Structure 1
Amino acid sequence: MSSEEESVDQTPPTCGLLGLLLKNRRPTGAVNEVWPDLFVGNAATARNKTLLQNLGITHVVNAADGPQHIDTGPRFYRDADIQYHGVEAADCIDFDLSPFFSGTADFIHGALSQKGKVLVHCARGISRSGTLVLAFLMIKEGLTLEEAVELVCRSRNILPNTGFLNQLCQLDSALRRRKM
Protein backbone atom coordinates (compact mmCIF):
# COMPACT_ATOMS: atom_id res chain seq x y z
CA MET A 1 0.00 0.00 0.00
CA SER A 2 1.41 3.41 -0.92
CA SER A 3 1.74 6.14 1.71
CA GLU A 4 -0.99 8.10 -0.11
CA GLU A 5 -3.42 5.17 0.14
CA GLU A 6 -2.42 4.66 3.75
CA SER A 7 -3.17 8.29 4.67
CA VAL A 8 -6.63 8.04 3.08
CA ASP A 9 -7.39 5.07 5.36
CA GLN A 10 -6.35 6.87 8.54
CA THR A 11 -8.36 8.92 10.98
CA PRO A 12 -7.49 12.59 10.52
CA PRO A 13 -5.77 14.42 13.39
CA THR A 14 -7.89 16.58 15.68
CA CYS A 15 -6.43 19.77 14.18
CA GLY A 16 -7.51 18.61 10.71
CA LEU A 17 -11.03 17.98 11.99
CA LEU A 18 -11.15 21.42 13.59
CA GLY A 19 -10.23 22.89 10.21
CA LEU A 20 -13.10 21.00 8.58
CA LEU A 21 -15.52 22.09 11.31
CA LEU A 22 -14.55 25.74 11.00
CA LYS A 23 -14.50 25.83 7.16
CA ASN A 24 -17.40 27.50 5.33
CA ARG A 25 -19.35 28.40 8.46
CA ARG A 26 -22.57 30.30 7.91
CA PRO A 27 -25.50 31.22 10.12
CA THR A 28 -27.64 28.25 11.11
CA GLY A 29 -30.96 28.30 12.87
CA ALA A 30 -32.15 26.85 16.15
CA VAL A 31 -32.79 23.50 14.43
CA ASN A 32 -31.50 21.99 11.19
CA GLU A 33 -32.09 18.74 9.34
CA VAL A 34 -28.61 17.20 8.90
CA TRP A 35 -29.61 13.76 7.53
CA PRO A 36 -33.02 12.64 6.28
CA ASP A 37 -35.41 12.93 9.24
CA LEU A 38 -32.53 13.65 11.68
CA PHE A 39 -32.39 17.12 13.20
CA VAL A 40 -29.89 18.87 15.47
CA GLY A 41 -31.14 21.70 17.63
CA ASN A 42 -30.84 23.65 20.84
CA ALA A 43 -32.68 23.51 24.18
CA ALA A 44 -35.29 26.08 23.16
CA THR A 45 -36.26 23.89 20.21
CA ALA A 46 -36.53 20.83 22.46
CA ARG A 47 -38.89 22.70 24.82
CA ASN A 48 -41.15 23.97 22.02
CA LYS A 49 -43.64 21.13 21.59
CA THR A 50 -45.60 23.03 18.92
CA LEU A 51 -42.46 23.38 16.79
CA LEU A 52 -41.60 19.71 17.34
CA GLN A 53 -45.08 18.69 16.21
CA ASN A 54 -44.83 20.96 13.16
CA LEU A 55 -41.50 19.31 12.27
CA GLY A 56 -43.05 15.87 12.79
CA ILE A 57 -40.55 14.95 15.53
CA THR A 58 -41.37 11.55 17.04
CA HIS A 59 -38.17 10.97 19.04
CA VAL A 60 -35.91 13.24 21.09
CA VAL A 61 -32.33 12.64 22.21
CA ASN A 62 -31.35 15.04 24.98
CA ALA A 63 -27.55 15.10 25.18
CA ALA A 64 -27.74 17.42 28.22
CA ASP A 65 -30.20 15.42 30.32
CA GLY A 66 -30.59 15.77 34.06
CA PRO A 67 -31.59 18.20 36.77
CA GLN A 68 -28.35 20.17 36.47
CA HIS A 69 -28.76 20.55 32.70
CA ILE A 70 -31.89 20.45 30.50
CA ASP A 71 -34.34 18.56 32.64
CA THR A 72 -37.11 17.66 30.21
CA GLY A 73 -37.31 13.87 30.33
CA PRO A 74 -39.98 11.49 29.08
CA ARG A 75 -42.73 13.05 31.24
CA PHE A 76 -42.24 16.40 29.51
CA TYR A 77 -43.09 14.81 26.14
CA ARG A 78 -45.81 12.44 27.31
CA ASP A 79 -48.67 14.56 25.94
CA ALA A 80 -46.82 15.04 22.63
CA ASP A 81 -46.38 11.30 21.96
CA ILE A 82 -42.61 11.69 21.62
CA GLN A 83 -40.20 8.93 22.64
CA TYR A 84 -37.27 10.14 24.72
CA HIS A 85 -33.64 9.12 25.15
CA GLY A 86 -31.59 11.03 27.71
CA VAL A 87 -27.81 11.28 27.97
CA GLU A 88 -26.56 13.05 31.09
CA ALA A 89 -23.40 14.61 29.68
CA ALA A 90 -21.29 17.62 30.58
CA ASP A 91 -19.78 19.68 27.77
CA CYS A 92 -16.22 19.55 29.04
CA ILE A 93 -13.13 18.04 27.45
CA ASP A 94 -12.62 15.43 30.15
CA PHE A 95 -16.17 14.02 30.01
CA ASP A 96 -16.28 10.60 28.33
CA LEU A 97 -19.24 10.65 25.97
CA SER A 98 -18.12 7.50 24.12
CA PRO A 99 -20.03 5.02 26.36
CA PHE A 100 -23.23 6.65 25.02
CA PHE A 101 -22.32 6.39 21.30
CA SER A 102 -23.71 2.92 20.66
CA GLY A 103 -26.95 3.17 22.66
CA THR A 104 -27.77 6.56 21.20
CA ALA A 105 -26.98 5.36 17.67
CA ASP A 106 -29.30 2.39 18.24
CA PHE A 107 -32.10 4.71 19.46
CA ILE A 108 -31.74 7.03 16.43
CA HIS A 109 -31.48 4.13 14.00
CA GLY A 110 -34.56 2.45 15.49
CA ALA A 111 -36.56 5.66 15.21
CA LEU A 112 -35.53 6.28 11.60
CA SER A 113 -36.24 2.63 10.72
CA GLN A 114 -39.83 3.16 11.94
CA LYS A 115 -40.15 6.24 9.68
CA GLY A 116 -39.79 8.50 12.72
CA LYS A 117 -38.13 11.90 12.90
CA VAL A 118 -35.45 12.54 15.51
CA LEU A 119 -34.27 15.70 17.23
CA VAL A 120 -30.88 15.46 18.90
CA HIS A 121 -30.22 18.44 21.13
CA CYS A 122 -28.10 19.82 23.92
CA ALA A 123 -27.97 23.37 25.25
CA ARG A 124 -26.88 25.09 22.02
CA GLY A 125 -26.94 22.20 19.54
CA ILE A 126 -23.23 22.44 18.84
CA SER A 127 -20.99 20.13 20.86
CA ARG A 128 -22.69 17.22 22.66
CA SER A 129 -25.52 16.79 20.15
CA GLY A 130 -23.16 17.21 17.22
CA THR A 131 -20.88 14.54 18.66
CA LEU A 132 -23.71 12.03 19.09
CA VAL A 133 -24.99 12.64 15.55
CA LEU A 134 -21.50 12.17 14.10
CA ALA A 135 -21.16 8.91 16.07
CA PHE A 136 -24.53 7.72 14.73
CA LEU A 137 -23.51 8.45 11.13
CA MET A 138 -20.28 6.54 11.62
CA ILE A 139 -21.72 3.54 13.49
CA LYS A 140 -25.02 3.02 11.62
CA GLU A 141 -24.49 4.67 8.23
CA GLY A 142 -20.86 3.63 7.69
CA LEU A 143 -19.47 7.12 7.15
CA THR A 144 -15.92 7.98 8.12
CA LEU A 145 -15.49 10.77 10.64
CA GLU A 146 -14.43 13.18 7.90
CA GLU A 147 -17.43 12.27 5.74
CA ALA A 148 -19.80 12.68 8.70
CA VAL A 149 -18.32 16.10 9.61
CA GLU A 150 -18.57 17.33 6.03
CA LEU A 151 -22.15 16.09 5.73
CA VAL A 152 -23.43 17.65 8.97
CA CYS A 153 -21.57 20.92 8.39
CA ARG A 154 -23.41 21.41 5.09
CA SER A 155 -26.57 22.01 7.13
CA ARG A 156 -25.45 23.09 10.60
CA ASN A 157 -22.47 24.60 12.35
CA ILE A 158 -21.34 22.12 14.98
CA LEU A 159 -18.17 22.20 17.04
CA PRO A 160 -17.57 19.28 19.40
CA ASN A 161 -15.07 20.10 22.11
CA THR A 162 -11.57 18.65 21.66
CA GLY A 163 -12.21 15.84 24.16
CA PHE A 164 -15.25 14.72 22.16
CA LEU A 165 -13.29 15.05 18.91
CA ASN A 166 -10.60 12.76 20.33
CA GLN A 167 -13.29 10.23 21.29
CA LEU A 168 -14.73 10.40 17.76
CA CYS A 169 -11.23 9.86 16.35
CA GLN A 170 -10.90 6.73 18.50
CA LEU A 171 -14.29 5.52 17.27
CA ASP A 172 -13.27 6.21 13.66
CA SER A 173 -10.03 4.23 14.11
CA ALA A 174 -11.91 1.31 15.69
CA LEU A 175 -14.50 1.25 12.92
CA ARG A 176 -11.78 1.40 10.22
CA ARG A 177 -9.97 -1.55 11.83
CA ARG A 178 -13.20 -3.59 11.76
CA LYS A 179 -13.56 -2.97 8.01
CA MET A 180 -10.09 -4.35 7.27
Structure 2
Amino acid sequence: PGLKTLQTEQMRSDLFLSPSVALETEAALDLTYLLFYITNRSLIVACRQRRRTMVMMDQLCEMDCSVLKRLMKDDSEKCLVLDCRSFLAFSAGHIRGAVNIRCNTIVRRRAKGSVSLDQILSGDEEVKSRLMSGMYSAVILYDERTSDTDTIKDDSTITLVINALCRDTFRTEVYLLKGGFDRFFSQYPDYCIKTKTLSMTSTQPSAESSCTSCGTPQHDQGGPVEILPFLFLGSALHASKKEMLDGMGISALLNVSSNCPNHFEGAYLYKCIPVEDNHKEDISSWFTEAIEFIDSVKDSNGRVLVHCQAGISRSATICLAYLMKKKRVRLDEAFEFVKQRRSIISPNFSFMGQLLQFESQVLATSCSVEAASPSASLGAESSSSPGTPYIFSFPVSVGPHGQPGSLSYLQSPITTSPSC
Protein backbone atom coordinates (compact mmCIF):
# COMPACT_ATOMS: atom_id res chain seq x y z
CA PRO A 1 0.00 0.00 0.00
CA GLY A 2 2.81 2.41 0.85
CA LEU A 3 4.56 1.80 -2.48
CA LYS A 4 1.28 2.14 -4.30
CA THR A 5 0.63 5.51 -2.68
CA LEU A 6 4.11 6.77 -3.58
CA GLN A 7 3.66 5.64 -7.17
CA THR A 8 0.32 7.37 -7.41
CA GLU A 9 1.75 10.59 -5.97
CA GLN A 10 4.60 10.48 -8.52
CA MET A 11 2.14 9.94 -11.37
CA ARG A 12 -0.03 12.75 -10.10
CA SER A 13 3.00 15.05 -10.23
CA ASP A 14 4.27 13.84 -13.63
CA LEU A 15 0.92 13.66 -15.41
CA PHE A 16 -0.61 16.81 -13.84
CA LEU A 17 -3.60 14.85 -12.51
CA SER A 18 -6.12 16.56 -10.26
CA PRO A 19 -6.78 14.93 -6.85
CA SER A 20 -10.12 13.46 -7.99
CA VAL A 21 -8.66 11.97 -11.16
CA ALA A 22 -5.69 10.69 -9.18
CA LEU A 23 -8.00 8.77 -6.84
CA GLU A 24 -9.69 7.09 -9.79
CA THR A 25 -6.29 6.27 -11.24
CA GLU A 26 -5.18 4.77 -7.95
CA ALA A 27 -8.14 2.41 -7.97
CA ALA A 28 -7.27 1.21 -11.48
CA LEU A 29 -3.54 0.89 -10.91
CA ASP A 30 -2.28 -2.61 -11.68
CA LEU A 31 0.99 -4.27 -12.64
CA THR A 32 0.49 -3.72 -16.37
CA TYR A 33 -0.14 -0.03 -15.91
CA LEU A 34 2.85 0.25 -13.63
CA LEU A 35 5.04 -1.37 -16.27
CA PHE A 36 3.77 1.06 -18.90
CA TYR A 37 4.42 3.99 -16.59
CA ILE A 38 7.97 2.88 -15.74
CA THR A 39 8.95 2.21 -19.35
CA ASN A 40 7.54 5.54 -20.51
CA ARG A 41 8.74 7.67 -17.63
CA SER A 42 11.35 9.48 -19.75
CA LEU A 43 8.67 10.38 -22.30
CA ILE A 44 6.40 11.65 -19.54
CA VAL A 45 9.17 13.79 -18.09
CA ALA A 46 9.97 15.15 -21.57
CA CYS A 47 6.31 16.04 -22.08
CA ARG A 48 6.25 17.77 -18.71
CA GLN A 49 9.34 19.79 -19.68
CA ARG A 50 7.81 20.65 -23.05
CA ARG A 51 4.66 21.85 -21.31
CA ARG A 52 6.69 24.05 -18.95
CA THR A 53 8.60 25.50 -21.91
CA MET A 54 5.38 26.24 -23.79
CA VAL A 55 3.99 27.98 -20.71
CA MET A 56 7.21 29.99 -20.41
CA MET A 57 7.08 30.97 -24.09
CA ASP A 58 3.45 32.03 -23.67
CA GLN A 59 4.46 34.19 -20.73
CA LEU A 60 7.44 35.70 -22.58
CA CYS A 61 6.69 39.39 -22.93
CA GLU A 62 8.04 41.80 -25.49
CA MET A 63 9.97 44.90 -24.43
CA ASP A 64 10.38 48.06 -26.47
CA CYS A 65 13.85 49.49 -26.88
CA SER A 66 12.79 52.65 -25.06
CA VAL A 67 11.84 50.63 -21.98
CA LEU A 68 15.20 48.86 -21.88
CA LYS A 69 16.99 52.17 -22.29
CA ARG A 70 15.07 53.55 -19.30
CA LEU A 71 15.85 50.46 -17.22
CA MET A 72 19.55 50.73 -18.05
CA LYS A 73 19.53 54.37 -17.04
CA ASP A 74 17.48 54.13 -13.84
CA ASP A 75 17.81 50.57 -12.51
CA SER A 76 20.57 48.72 -14.37
CA GLU A 77 21.51 46.55 -11.36
CA LYS A 78 18.07 44.92 -11.34
CA CYS A 79 17.97 43.88 -14.99
CA LEU A 80 20.04 41.19 -16.72
CA VAL A 81 20.51 41.56 -20.48
CA LEU A 82 21.46 38.34 -22.29
CA ASP A 83 22.91 38.52 -25.80
CA CYS A 84 21.82 35.35 -27.63
CA ARG A 85 24.01 35.90 -30.71
CA SER A 86 27.34 34.36 -31.66
CA PHE A 87 30.59 35.35 -30.02
CA LEU A 88 31.74 37.08 -33.22
CA ALA A 89 28.55 39.14 -33.46
CA PHE A 90 28.74 40.02 -29.76
CA SER A 91 32.37 41.08 -30.11
CA ALA A 92 31.56 43.27 -33.10
CA GLY A 93 28.96 45.14 -31.07
CA HIS A 94 26.55 44.63 -28.17
CA ILE A 95 24.33 46.41 -25.68
CA ARG A 96 26.33 47.87 -22.82
CA GLY A 97 26.46 45.47 -19.86
CA ALA A 98 25.01 42.53 -21.80
CA VAL A 99 26.25 39.00 -21.12
CA ASN A 100 26.96 36.79 -24.13
CA ILE A 101 25.34 33.36 -24.03
CA ARG A 102 27.93 30.60 -24.55
CA CYS A 103 25.97 28.40 -26.93
CA ASN A 104 27.85 27.57 -30.13
CA THR A 105 26.67 25.26 -32.89
CA ILE A 106 28.03 22.06 -31.37
CA VAL A 107 26.47 22.75 -27.97
CA ARG A 108 23.10 23.50 -29.58
CA ARG A 109 23.10 20.30 -31.59
CA ARG A 110 24.01 18.17 -28.61
CA ALA A 111 21.76 19.95 -26.13
CA LYS A 112 18.46 19.07 -27.83
CA GLY A 113 16.64 21.50 -25.59
CA SER A 114 18.39 20.52 -22.36
CA VAL A 115 21.24 23.03 -22.11
CA SER A 116 21.83 24.23 -18.55
CA LEU A 117 22.54 27.64 -17.04
CA ASP A 118 26.01 26.37 -16.12
CA GLN A 119 26.73 25.83 -19.82
CA ILE A 120 25.29 29.04 -21.22
CA LEU A 121 26.73 31.21 -18.43
CA SER A 122 30.05 29.42 -18.14
CA GLY A 123 32.52 31.63 -16.31
CA ASP A 124 29.91 34.17 -15.16
CA GLU A 125 29.58 32.92 -11.59
CA GLU A 126 28.42 36.23 -10.15
CA VAL A 127 25.68 36.55 -12.76
CA LYS A 128 24.55 32.96 -12.15
CA SER A 129 24.47 33.51 -8.40
CA ARG A 130 22.42 36.70 -8.69
CA LEU A 131 20.09 35.03 -11.16
CA MET A 132 19.49 31.98 -8.98
CA SER A 133 18.96 34.20 -5.94
CA GLY A 134 16.23 36.16 -7.70
CA MET A 135 18.14 39.42 -7.49
CA TYR A 136 17.16 40.43 -11.02
CA SER A 137 13.68 41.82 -11.50
CA ALA A 138 13.87 41.30 -15.26
CA VAL A 139 15.84 39.20 -17.75
CA ILE A 140 15.91 40.65 -21.25
CA LEU A 141 16.88 38.43 -24.18
CA TYR A 142 17.85 39.68 -27.61
CA ASP A 143 19.27 38.41 -30.88
CA GLU A 144 20.06 40.26 -34.09
CA ARG A 145 16.63 41.48 -35.15
CA THR A 146 13.71 39.30 -33.92
CA SER A 147 10.73 41.59 -33.43
CA ASP A 148 8.11 39.33 -31.83
CA THR A 149 7.84 36.05 -29.92
CA ASP A 150 5.80 34.32 -32.64
CA THR A 151 8.81 34.18 -34.97
CA ILE A 152 11.14 32.47 -32.49
CA LYS A 153 12.19 29.04 -33.78
CA ASP A 154 12.24 25.93 -31.60
CA ASP A 155 15.96 25.38 -32.19
CA SER A 156 17.03 28.98 -31.63
CA THR A 157 19.40 30.07 -28.89
CA ILE A 158 16.61 32.11 -27.31
CA THR A 159 14.49 28.96 -26.98
CA LEU A 160 17.39 27.10 -25.37
CA VAL A 161 17.80 29.95 -22.89
CA ILE A 162 14.08 29.85 -22.13
CA ASN A 163 14.39 26.11 -21.48
CA ALA A 164 17.28 26.70 -19.09
CA LEU A 165 15.43 29.47 -17.26
CA CYS A 166 12.22 27.51 -16.81
CA ARG A 167 14.11 24.56 -15.31
CA ASP A 168 15.37 26.68 -12.42
CA THR A 169 13.30 27.73 -9.47
CA PHE A 170 13.53 31.50 -9.43
CA ARG A 171 10.86 34.04 -10.18
CA THR A 172 12.05 36.60 -12.68
CA GLU A 173 10.15 38.23 -15.51
CA VAL A 174 11.63 37.30 -18.90
CA TYR A 175 11.36 39.63 -21.90
CA LEU A 176 12.28 39.62 -25.57
CA LEU A 177 13.75 42.88 -26.85
CA LYS A 178 11.70 43.89 -29.89
CA GLY A 179 13.85 44.34 -32.97
CA GLY A 180 16.94 42.91 -31.29
CA PHE A 181 20.35 44.55 -31.35
CA ASP A 182 19.85 46.13 -34.77
CA ARG A 183 16.91 48.25 -33.67
CA PHE A 184 18.35 49.12 -30.26
CA PHE A 185 21.66 50.21 -31.76
CA SER A 186 19.93 52.33 -34.38
CA GLN A 187 17.92 54.13 -31.69
CA TYR A 188 20.40 54.27 -28.79
CA PRO A 189 23.98 53.88 -30.03
CA ASP A 190 25.31 55.54 -26.86
CA TYR A 191 24.02 52.56 -24.86
CA CYS A 192 25.95 50.10 -27.01
CA ILE A 193 29.57 49.06 -27.39
CA LYS A 194 30.56 48.90 -31.04
CA THR A 195 33.99 47.71 -32.13
CA LYS A 196 35.60 50.18 -34.47
CA THR A 197 36.40 48.89 -37.92
CA LEU A 198 40.14 48.47 -38.10
CA SER A 199 41.82 50.66 -40.66
CA MET A 200 44.30 48.81 -42.82
CA THR A 201 46.29 51.98 -43.14
CA SER A 202 46.80 52.30 -39.40
CA THR A 203 47.53 48.71 -38.39
CA GLN A 204 47.95 46.60 -41.52
CA PRO A 205 49.53 48.51 -44.41
CA SER A 206 48.57 47.85 -48.00
CA ALA A 207 50.63 45.83 -50.45
CA GLU A 208 52.49 48.84 -51.75
CA SER A 209 53.62 49.76 -48.25
CA SER A 210 54.31 46.27 -46.95
CA CYS A 211 57.84 47.54 -46.36
CA THR A 212 58.39 51.19 -45.60
CA SER A 213 61.19 53.32 -46.94
CA CYS A 214 63.19 52.50 -43.84
CA GLY A 215 62.76 48.78 -44.47
CA THR A 216 60.30 48.00 -41.64
CA PRO A 217 58.63 44.60 -42.21
CA GLN A 218 54.85 44.51 -42.36
CA HIS A 219 54.50 42.60 -39.10
CA ASP A 220 56.34 45.37 -37.23
CA GLN A 221 54.37 48.28 -38.67
CA GLY A 222 51.62 49.98 -36.70
CA GLY A 223 51.19 48.70 -33.18
CA PRO A 224 49.73 45.78 -31.22
CA VAL A 225 46.10 44.97 -31.94
CA GLU A 226 43.39 44.59 -29.32
CA ILE A 227 41.93 41.08 -29.24
CA LEU A 228 39.95 41.68 -26.05
CA PRO A 229 39.98 44.76 -23.79
CA PHE A 230 42.73 43.15 -21.71
CA LEU A 231 44.48 41.07 -24.40
CA PHE A 232 46.74 42.41 -27.16
CA LEU A 233 48.75 40.72 -29.92
CA GLY A 234 51.93 42.07 -31.47
CA SER A 235 55.55 41.53 -32.41
CA ALA A 236 58.90 41.67 -30.61
CA LEU A 237 59.46 45.18 -31.95
CA HIS A 238 56.20 46.33 -30.40
CA ALA A 239 57.30 44.78 -27.09
CA SER A 240 60.48 46.87 -27.18
CA LYS A 241 58.72 50.24 -27.34
CA LYS A 242 58.03 51.35 -23.77
CA GLU A 243 56.25 54.55 -24.74
CA MET A 244 53.86 52.57 -26.92
CA LEU A 245 53.24 49.99 -24.17
CA ASP A 246 52.55 52.67 -21.59
CA GLY A 247 50.21 54.47 -23.97
CA MET A 248 48.14 51.31 -24.39
CA GLY A 249 48.06 50.60 -20.67
CA ILE A 250 50.03 47.35 -20.97
CA SER A 251 51.00 45.96 -17.55
CA ALA A 252 52.28 42.49 -18.50
CA LEU A 253 53.94 40.75 -21.44
CA LEU A 254 53.69 37.11 -22.46
CA ASN A 255 56.83 36.34 -24.47
CA VAL A 256 56.19 33.27 -26.66
CA SER A 257 59.76 32.68 -27.81
CA SER A 258 63.09 31.39 -26.61
CA ASN A 259 65.22 34.25 -27.91
CA CYS A 260 63.26 37.52 -27.69
CA PRO A 261 64.58 39.63 -24.80
CA ASN A 262 62.44 41.06 -22.00
CA HIS A 263 63.45 44.71 -22.30
CA PHE A 264 61.77 46.24 -19.25
CA GLU A 265 61.66 43.63 -16.51
CA GLY A 266 61.58 46.29 -13.82
CA ALA A 267 58.53 48.00 -15.32
CA TYR A 268 56.24 45.14 -16.40
CA LEU A 269 55.26 41.64 -15.34
CA TYR A 270 56.82 39.10 -17.72
CA LYS A 271 56.19 35.46 -18.48
CA CYS A 272 58.16 33.48 -21.05
CA ILE A 273 57.01 30.45 -23.03
CA PRO A 274 60.22 29.15 -24.65
CA VAL A 275 59.02 27.57 -27.89
CA GLU A 276 60.38 27.70 -31.43
CA ASP A 277 58.26 28.12 -34.54
CA ASN A 278 58.68 24.65 -36.01
CA HIS A 279 56.70 21.47 -36.50
CA LYS A 280 58.39 19.63 -33.62
CA GLU A 281 57.29 21.99 -30.86
CA ASP A 282 54.44 21.01 -28.53
CA ILE A 283 52.99 24.44 -27.92
CA SER A 284 49.73 22.95 -26.64
CA SER A 285 51.48 21.84 -23.45
CA TRP A 286 51.75 25.54 -22.58
CA PHE A 287 48.11 26.44 -23.24
CA THR A 288 46.88 26.05 -19.67
CA GLU A 289 49.79 27.99 -18.19
CA ALA A 290 49.39 30.79 -20.74
CA ILE A 291 45.64 31.02 -20.20
CA GLU A 292 46.08 31.18 -16.43
CA PHE A 293 48.65 33.97 -16.81
CA ILE A 294 46.35 36.00 -19.05
CA ASP A 295 43.48 35.51 -16.60
CA SER A 296 45.64 36.61 -13.67
CA VAL A 297 46.45 39.84 -15.49
CA LYS A 298 42.79 40.33 -16.34
CA ASP A 299 41.73 39.72 -12.72
CA SER A 300 44.15 42.40 -11.55
CA ASN A 301 42.58 44.85 -14.04
CA GLY A 302 45.73 44.81 -16.15
CA ARG A 303 46.45 44.39 -19.85
CA VAL A 304 48.74 41.81 -21.39
CA LEU A 305 50.62 41.89 -24.69
CA VAL A 306 51.22 38.45 -26.19
CA HIS A 307 54.12 38.53 -28.63
CA CYS A 308 56.71 36.36 -30.37
CA GLN A 309 59.18 37.50 -33.02
CA ALA A 310 56.69 38.61 -35.67
CA GLY A 311 53.30 38.14 -34.00
CA ILE A 312 52.24 35.73 -36.72
CA SER A 313 52.49 32.13 -35.54
CA ARG A 314 53.39 31.40 -31.91
CA SER A 315 51.74 34.34 -30.16
CA ALA A 316 48.71 34.09 -32.46
CA THR A 317 48.37 30.42 -31.47
CA ILE A 318 48.25 31.37 -27.78
CA CYS A 319 45.60 34.02 -28.43
CA LEU A 320 43.51 31.53 -30.41
CA ALA A 321 43.75 28.98 -27.60
CA TYR A 322 42.65 31.59 -25.07
CA LEU A 323 39.58 32.56 -27.10
CA MET A 324 38.61 28.93 -27.65
CA LYS A 325 38.93 28.09 -23.96
CA LYS A 326 37.37 31.16 -22.37
CA LYS A 327 34.74 31.99 -25.00
CA ARG A 328 33.88 28.36 -25.88
CA VAL A 329 34.20 28.97 -29.61
CA ARG A 330 35.47 26.77 -32.41
CA LEU A 331 38.87 27.20 -34.00
CA ASP A 332 37.50 28.68 -37.21
CA GLU A 333 35.45 31.23 -35.26
CA ALA A 334 38.41 32.26 -33.12
CA PHE A 335 40.69 32.38 -36.17
CA GLU A 336 38.34 34.66 -38.08
CA PHE A 337 37.97 36.89 -35.03
CA VAL A 338 41.74 37.36 -34.62
CA LYS A 339 42.34 37.60 -38.37
CA GLN A 340 39.95 40.54 -38.58
CA ARG A 341 42.24 42.36 -36.17
CA ARG A 342 45.65 41.19 -37.40
CA SER A 343 45.27 39.85 -40.91
CA ILE A 344 48.81 38.44 -41.20
CA ILE A 345 48.42 35.73 -38.54
CA SER A 346 49.46 32.31 -39.83
CA PRO A 347 50.18 29.57 -37.26
CA ASN A 348 52.25 26.77 -38.75
CA PHE A 349 50.63 23.48 -39.73
CA SER A 350 51.62 21.70 -36.51
CA PHE A 351 50.23 24.48 -34.32
CA MET A 352 46.95 24.44 -36.26
CA GLY A 353 46.69 20.70 -35.68
CA GLN A 354 47.30 21.17 -31.96
CA LEU A 355 44.65 23.90 -31.86
CA LEU A 356 42.22 21.57 -33.59
CA GLN A 357 42.92 18.93 -30.94
CA PHE A 358 42.45 21.57 -28.25
CA GLU A 359 39.13 22.53 -29.81
CA SER A 360 37.76 19.03 -29.28
CA GLN A 361 38.87 19.09 -25.64
CA VAL A 362 37.33 22.49 -24.98
CA LEU A 363 34.02 21.65 -26.60
CA ALA A 364 33.94 18.29 -24.81
CA THR A 365 34.09 20.01 -21.43
CA SER A 366 31.21 22.29 -22.41
CA CYS A 367 28.96 19.36 -23.28
CA SER A 368 27.75 17.05 -20.52
CA VAL A 369 27.07 13.89 -22.50
CA GLU A 370 29.09 13.47 -25.68
CA ALA A 371 32.55 14.31 -27.04
CA ALA A 372 34.59 11.86 -24.99
CA SER A 373 37.30 11.98 -27.67
CA PRO A 374 38.55 14.43 -30.30
CA SER A 375 36.98 12.35 -33.07
CA ALA A 376 33.60 12.52 -31.33
CA SER A 377 33.79 16.29 -31.22
CA LEU A 378 34.68 16.48 -34.89
CA GLY A 379 31.91 14.08 -35.77
CA ALA A 380 29.38 16.35 -34.13
CA GLU A 381 30.20 19.01 -36.68
CA SER A 382 29.14 16.82 -39.56
CA SER A 383 26.39 17.90 -41.87
CA SER A 384 22.76 16.96 -41.34
CA SER A 385 22.98 14.16 -43.91
CA PRO A 386 23.77 10.86 -42.21
CA GLY A 387 27.11 9.36 -43.03
CA THR A 388 28.63 12.59 -44.27
CA PRO A 389 32.11 12.96 -42.76
CA TYR A 390 33.21 16.20 -41.16
CA ILE A 391 36.18 17.81 -42.90
CA PHE A 392 37.94 20.64 -41.13
CA SER A 393 38.99 23.47 -43.42
CA PHE A 394 41.97 25.47 -42.25
CA PRO A 395 41.01 29.14 -42.17
CA VAL A 396 42.77 31.26 -44.74
CA SER A 397 45.03 33.97 -43.40
CA VAL A 398 46.49 36.00 -46.23
CA GLY A 399 47.89 39.43 -45.55
CA PRO A 400 47.09 42.20 -48.00
CA HIS A 401 49.81 42.10 -50.61
CA GLY A 402 49.75 42.59 -54.33
CA GLN A 403 53.31 42.19 -55.49
CA PRO A 404 54.12 38.56 -56.33
CA GLY A 405 57.37 38.55 -54.40
CA SER A 406 56.27 40.31 -51.24
CA LEU A 407 55.65 38.20 -48.14
CA SER A 408 55.28 35.00 -50.12
CA TYR A 409 55.25 32.98 -46.92
CA LEU A 410 51.77 34.35 -46.16
CA GLN A 411 50.31 32.71 -49.25
CA SER A 412 49.25 29.63 -47.26
CA PRO A 413 48.00 29.53 -43.68
CA ILE A 414 49.41 26.05 -43.12
CA THR A 415 52.97 26.68 -44.19
CA THR A 416 55.65 27.57 -41.70
CA SER A 417 56.24 31.29 -41.66
CA PRO A 418 59.65 32.76 -40.88
CA SER A 419 60.63 32.90 -37.24
CA CYS A 420 57.47 34.15 -35.61
Give the alignment's TM-score, normalised by structure 1.
Answer: 0.78
What's the secondary structure of 1:130's corresponding residue?
A: helix
Assess if the C-alpha contact under 8 Å between 1:61 and 1:86 holds in 2: yes
How much does 1:115 deviate? 1.3
Provide, for residues 24-49 of structure 1, a one-character-per-residue CA deviation record: whole Å limited to 9, x for no partner. xx626341112222110001111111
Assess if the C-alpha contact under 8 Å between 2:251 and 2:269 holds in 1: yes
Please give the alpha-carbon distance, in whole angstroms, between the structure 2 residues aligned to 1:43 and 1:78: 15
Please give the alpha-carbon distance, in whole angstroms, between the structure 1 residues aligned to 2:296 and 2:330: 21
Question: Which of 141, 144, 158 is equivalent to 2:330?
Answer: 144
What's the secondary structure of 1:77's corresponding residue?
A: coil
After the TM superposition, which parts of structure 1 deviate over 3 Å for at least 4 consecutive aligned residues?
Answer: none
1:131 aligns with 2:131: no
1:179 aligns with 2:343: no
Which residue number corresponds to residue 37 of structure 1?
A: 230
1:107 aligns with 2:297: no
Please give the alpha-carbon distance, in whole angstroms, between the structure 1 residues aligned to 2:322 and 2:233: 12
Please give the alpha-carbon distance, in whole angstroms, between the structure 2 residues aligned to 1:112 and 1:57: 11
How much does 1:100 deviate? 0.5
Where structure 1 has 5 or more consecutive residues not aligned to the other structure, the ranges are 1-7, 11-25
Please give the alpha-carbon distance, in whole angstroms, between the structure 1 residues aligned to 2:325 and 2:309: 24
Which residue number corresponds to residue 277 of structure 2?
A: 91
Provide, for residues 55-74 of structure 1, a one-character-per-residue CA deviation record: whole Å limited to 9, x for no partner. 1100100001x3xx2122xx
Q: Which moved more, 1:146-155 or 1:26-35?
A: 26-35
How much does 1:143 deviate? 2.2
Give the alignment's TM-score, normalised by structure 2.
Answer: 0.35
Bigger proportion of residues as helix: 1
1:71 aligns with 2:261: yes
Which residue number corresponds to residue 239 of structure 2?
A: 46
Where structure 2 has 5 or more consecutive residues not aligned to the other structure, the ranges are 1-104, 108-199, 206-221, 368-420
Assess if the C-alpha contact under 8 Å between 2:328 and 2:363 holds in 1: no
Which residue number corresponds to residue 119 of structure 1?
A: 305
How much does 1:153 deviate? 1.2
1:9 aligns with 2:113: no
How much does 1:179 deviate? 2.0
Aligned length: 151
Identity of aligned residues (%): 34
How much does 1:125 deviate? 0.4
1:62 aligns with 2:255: yes
